Amino acid sequence: LKPCTGRPPRRPPCPCGLQHLGATDKNKAREMVPGDRSSDSDDSEDHQDESHPDSQVLRFLKSKRVWATVFWFVGVGMLKFHEDFGLLEASYFITQIVTTIGYGDICVQGSMMKVFVSVYILGMLVMVGFILNEVVNSALAKEADRMKTNMAHVEKLADHVHATVGQTLNDLSEEVKNDEEIVENQITRFSGRSASQQKLIFATCLFGIYIGGGTVFYSTMEACSCSYGATAMLNCTAETACEAGKVKTPLDAFYMSVVTLTTVGFGDYTPSTPAGRLFGIPWMVTGIVTAGVFVTALQDVLMNNQTAKSRKDRTFEDVQKMTPEIFAKMDADGSGGLSKSEWVSYMLVLEGLVEQETLDRLSRIFDKLDRSKDGTISWYEVEYFQKKRAMMM
């Protein structure tokens, strides 16, 4: 080597009360009451196994992980048998390709392998790009699902209030309590969500841990090294390693860590021992992810005010570009004029801050709480709903 399925139809609730039935009869009567917990959650759940984002992403990632693994071992095999790389050196070389670090301390020599590595690099970058894109989409889909689940359970609680008028509510208490626990967990999760500044602090600490870990490891384990294989230093022995070999001071190790995890990869300082390369494979792969998280968090903080101003300016541009068709779409009640709520709702959807489905679900919850159907919710209606929920507990 040289350096270089669908659900059954919903049945109507039993019209008779259960409070006068015995225990055995109550159990039988409960079986007549629909118990499909997902019937009111969302119409899209009818075919969850076929169309749910998580199941699709899971299948996608499974297939991509398989192909990425095969792709990895193909590269290792070619390097091992055509360039006489060891397993560790081949994995170390492939890691440099995946992370785009490219130290240049180990490279291929044969013409055929140069062609293979060129094609391999392009293919691996495409593969990594697909996987990272689907991971991001999966995370966004899960966030949307959490919001939808939260809203679905809130809507279901309102359904219980109306569906149980004239009936005993104790039979539904256990189910409602489960719903409330889910809602409380969702609220707790969202209320504890970090702000952009807190994300930046977390990302900075995590990135600092990786930088510090690399600095400590390489300044300790590779303070003086003769290296080995293709990168072995000539006329270097264990006794003369600090004079004729590769030396890494803490400053050198810090410099190497920053250069590596930012994928700059100058190549003047590289892992030079088997332990260093074994440590470097997972350290480089996960370290560049933390660097990406850090850069993204920093960008979010710096661009926050600019984004807010841009949205404000864009809102006025949207008003200037408004047409009669857009105005009619915003006028949800067809009154010929826009109320404040209609304006705000439409602009929230237009700005991508909320989905239309979420607004529609909130509107349905409002309609269910509005027992008088006068377009407002009175304290009496709120109190009525609270008492019904208290009876369920």
In this structure, what are the phi and psi dihedrals at residue 247, rounded to the nearest 5 degrees? -115, 135
Q: Looking at residue 162, what is its pLDDT?
A: 59
Q: Looking at residue 199, what is its pLDDT?
A: 82
The C-alpha atoms of residue 52 and residue 144 are separated, in whole angstroms, by 12
Is-contact 114 300, C-beta < 8 A? no
Q: Looking at residue 57, what is its pLDDT?
A: 53
Is-contact 263 284, C-beta < 8 A? no
Q: Looking at residue 276, what is its pLDDT?
A: 95
Which residue stretches of the chain have pLDDT < 70? 1-64, 132-133, 135-136, 139-140, 143-144, 146-148, 150-195, 304-321, 351-352, 393
Is the whole model's pTM more than 0.85, yes or no? no
Q: Looking at residue 245, what is its pLDDT?
A: 93
* Phi-psi sector, 116: left (phi>0), alpha (psi -120 to 50), beta: alpha
The C-alpha atoms of residue 238 and residue 273 are separated, in whole angstroms, by 13
Is-contact 252 269, C-beta < 8 A? yes
Tell me the HSE value of 303 on the side-chain side, using a 13 A CA sphere.
9
The C-alpha atoms of residue 386 and residue 173 are separated, in whole angstroms, by 14
Is-contact 368 155, C-beta < 8 A? yes
**What residue type is 328 in one-letter code?**
A
Note the pLDDT tens digit of each residue in 161-185: 556 544 444 444 555 555 555 545 5
Q: Looking at residue 147, what is its pLDDT?
A: 63
**Residue among 308, 288, 290 nearest 351 (CA):** 308
